Chain A
Amino acid sequence: AQTVTQSQPEMSVQEAETVTLSCTYDTSESDYYLFWYKQPPSRQMILVIRQEAYKQQNATENRFSVNFQKAAKSFSLKISDSQLGDAAMYFCAFLTNSGAGSYQLTFGKGTKLSVIP
């Protein structure tokens, strides 16, 4: 079974500082996709960043970047110059082949990020 583990239930960061959220996963597949989603108090699920496993280069979206270590099955999210609006739950997700004709996102349990003014 595919699993996604986020070992930090809660994290906090000072405004304008940098924070890294951890994520590890387990799979026997060689080609897959990884995602970070943000869920603010409004509960809306917002895509933050995406990484294709076949790409060695780490994905970057403005202040958000990932450290993808395929051999270690690690996919951490770095948020630079943290802003108050970054406060939210962050979910790591892994796109898996369900074997039933579709692909499914498997989510970790999330990390609650607080930003301190």
Chain B
Amino acid sequence: NAGVMQNPRHLVRRRGQEARLRCSPMKGHSHVYWYRQLPEEGLKFMVYLQKENIIDESGMPKERFSAEFPKEGPSILRIQQVVRGDSAAYFCASSPQGTSSGANVLTFGAGSRLTVL
């Protein structure tokens, strides 16, 4: 079991460019979560998706950020027109079911570090 796979591990973009971060959940997991970690901070929730559905995007910035989890393929976190403040580590996690019971513990990927020049 390869675990949660994220790529790229490191991404450098200039201001105004687009960043695309990909996440393949663990085999058998149909729920994906994206978290952002700013320097010297803990992780902060961004969005929760199931296949083809956004369940909770209450942590997503209103502009420039979007996420999808298509029927086939990885989940994508897309950041348009990046700014320096977007520089952070972006973590994806997956679970076999939703976390409502707390029993379905999230498995995290190793993160993607975005640097905006």
Contacts and interface: CB of A to CB of B under 8 A. Distances in A.
A71 interface: no
B110 interface: yes
Contact of A47 (B42, B48, B105): B105
Interface string B38-71: 0011111100100000011011000000000000
Contact of A43 (B41, B105, B107, B111): B111
Interface stretch (B13-21, B79-87, B94-102): B94-102
Nearest to B41: A109
A110 B100 contact: no
Nearest to B98: A102
B41 to A, nearest CB: 6
Nearest to B46: A104
A82 B59 CA distance: 36
B31 to A, nearest CB: 9
Nearest to A89: B42
B61 to A, nearest CB: 16
A45 B55 CA distance: 23
Contact of B48 (A32, A35, A104): A104
Interface stretch (A11-19, A58-66, A93-101): A93-101
A108 B89 contact: no
Given A43-B111, A45-B108, 16 more contacts: A35-B105, A42-B110, A43-B89, A43-B110, A50-B102, A93-B43, A95-B102, A98-B45, A98-B56, A104-B48, A104-B59, A105-B35, A105-B45, A105-B99, A107-B44, A109-B42
30 contacts: A33-B102, A35-B105, A37-B108, A42-B110, A43-B113, A44-B108, A44-B109, A44-B110, A45-B93, A47-B105, A47-B107, A52-B102, A91-B43, A93-B42, A98-B45, A98-B56, A98-B58, A100-B58, A101-B55, A102-B55, A102-B56, A102-B99, A102-B100, A103-B102, A105-B35, A105-B106, A106-B45, A107-B42, A107-B43, A108-B42
Interface of A: 4, 32-33, 35, 37, 42-47, 50, 52, 91, 93, 95, 98, 100-110
